[in-house]
């Protein structure tokens, strides 16, 4: 593999790929093929992403959404899904609302999902996205299974699994990476290291210098990057995906970021970290540095920022209106979104429920 990023930085020494620093200064030598017009468009979508995320948290507090996992501060990491090709699979955890949005899932469906309606994850068969995985660390196994099937079928495609630093301590993630290394599956493992496994800080999870260095033990390449740097995210993702499609995978990308909000809306982060710590991370905000870069190029103004925020507010407002206007799901839907073809015993249960409802059994 002719690598521009992988192999250049040693994750065992915590060497980190950074192309755009927090002041908005760009290292042109390391710049990926990411033209400024696309950077501006991605920034606009990241602004919408943040507004939508904060709106969801507000809606939860109002009782209009269920438990919600915010991603405020991780927008550059989540924008990585924008670099997947249509042939690639996205395999998300519960915190990838932004990645799903960037992949094209309508915001109204994402809100509906967080209302507890499984139809929010009922996507067209042509959409290469697996449903959100709630079990911590289980989704890398699914991604490896998908990518192994892609390899066996000769498809030039990859599966991308997202998980957090906490999930990296789960046995499922070890098994997934071990299998991927042995069978050379076209899998990109994306670890969004937001510094906390719920309340447990990273330094209490592992004594390793980085999570990315673990890849060497499984026989493939790992890279530690500044996850708040959209250019580093783009460069690492595109390189890994192209190599995977060409038979050179798997890869592990650790995106170093920070979770500004709670683990979920049920969490109280003040119990395990100080307000001063959170404030100390604000200068490294992924949106702030990208805005500074665009401003330095004469591509962004205060008026543009105000317009983008208003566009985000309106998009989120329309999405929640559409989500709340959907009719309640039918009890029969419990049979609709799990299997393509159900075994006989499930068909019998389905018939029994249909009969019960027809006889006036209500919602069983």
- Domains of the chain, with CATH numbers? 11-329 (3.40.50.970), 330-364 (no CATH)
Report pLDDT for 327: 92
Lookup: tokens for 248: 């050179």
Which element (helix H / strand E) includes 120? none
In this predicted structure, the answer to whether residue 313 has a pLDDT above a threshold of 60 is yes
Q: Which residues contact 309 (CB under 8 A, 6 or more apart)?
A: 47, 51
Residue 1 — very low, low, confident or very high, per pLDDT cuts 50/70/90?
A: low
Q: How confident is the model over 64-74, as pLDDT tens digits?
A: 999 999 999 99
Structure tokens at 354: 């249909």
What is the pLDDT confidence band of residue 364, given thresholds at 50, 70 and 90?
very low
Partners of residue 221 on adjacent β-strands: 251
Q: How confident is the model at residue 363 (pLDDT cuts 50, 70, 90)?
A: low
Mean pLDDT of 180-192: 98
- Across the chain, mean pLDDT equals 95
Asked if residue 338 has pLDDT above 80, the reply is no
Confidence of residue 362 (pLDDT cuts 50, 70, 90): low
Where in the sequence numbering do the catalytic residues fall? 259, 263, 272
How distant is the alpha carbon of residue 85 from its chain centre? 15
3-state secondary structure of 16: coil
Surface-to-core class of residue 4, CB atoms within 10 Å of its CB (0-12 exposed, 13-18 middle, 19+ buried): middle
Q: What angle do CA 361, 363, 364 make, to 5 degrees?
A: 65
| pLDDT reported for residue 296 | 97
d(CA 337, CA 125): 11
């Amino acid at each position: 593999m002719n690598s521009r990023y992988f192999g250049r930085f040693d994750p065992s020494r915590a060497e980190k790929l950074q192309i755009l620093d927090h002041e908005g200064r760009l290292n042109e030598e390391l710049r990926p093929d990411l033209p400024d017009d696309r950077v501006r468009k991605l920034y606009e979508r990241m602004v919408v992403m943040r507004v939508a995320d904060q709106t969801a948290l507000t809606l939860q507090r109002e009782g209009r959404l269920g438990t919600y996992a915010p991603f405020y501060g991780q927008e550059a990491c989540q924008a990585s899904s924008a670099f997947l090709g249509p042939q690639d699979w996205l395999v998300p955890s519960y915190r990838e609302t932004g990645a799903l949005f960037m992949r094209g899932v309508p915001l109204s469906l994402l809100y509906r999902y967080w209302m507890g309606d499984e139809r929010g994850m009922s996507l067209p068969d042509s959409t290469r996205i697996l449903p959100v995985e709630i079990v911590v660390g289980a989704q890398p196994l699914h991604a490896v299974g998908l990518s192994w099937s892609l390899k066996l079928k000769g498809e030039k495609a990859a599966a991308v699994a997202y998980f957090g630093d906490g999930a990296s301590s789960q046995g499922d993630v070890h098994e997934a990476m071990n299998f991927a290394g042995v069978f050379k599956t076209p899998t990109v493992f994306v670890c969004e290291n937001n510094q906390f496994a719920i309340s447990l800080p990273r330094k209490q999870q592992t004594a390793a210098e980085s999570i990315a260095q673990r890849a060497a033990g499984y026989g493939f390449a790992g890279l530690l990057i500044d996850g708040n740097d959209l250019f580093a995210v783009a460069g690492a993702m595109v390189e890994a995906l192209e190599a995977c499609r060409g038979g050179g995978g798997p890869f592990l990308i650790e995106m170093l970021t920070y979770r500004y909000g709670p683990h979920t809306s049920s969490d109280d982060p003040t119990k395990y970290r100080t307000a001063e710590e959170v404030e100390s991370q604000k200068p490294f905000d992924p949106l702030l540095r990208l805005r500074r870069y665009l401003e330095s190029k004469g591509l962004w103004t205060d008026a543009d920022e105000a317009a983008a925020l208003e566009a985000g507010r309106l998009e989120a407002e329309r999405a929640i209106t559409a989500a709340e206007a959907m009719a309640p799901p039918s009890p029969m839907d419990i049979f609709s979104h799990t299997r393509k073809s159900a075994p006989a015993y499930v068909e019998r249960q389905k018939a029994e429920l249909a009969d019960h409802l027809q006889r006036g059994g209500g919602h069983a």
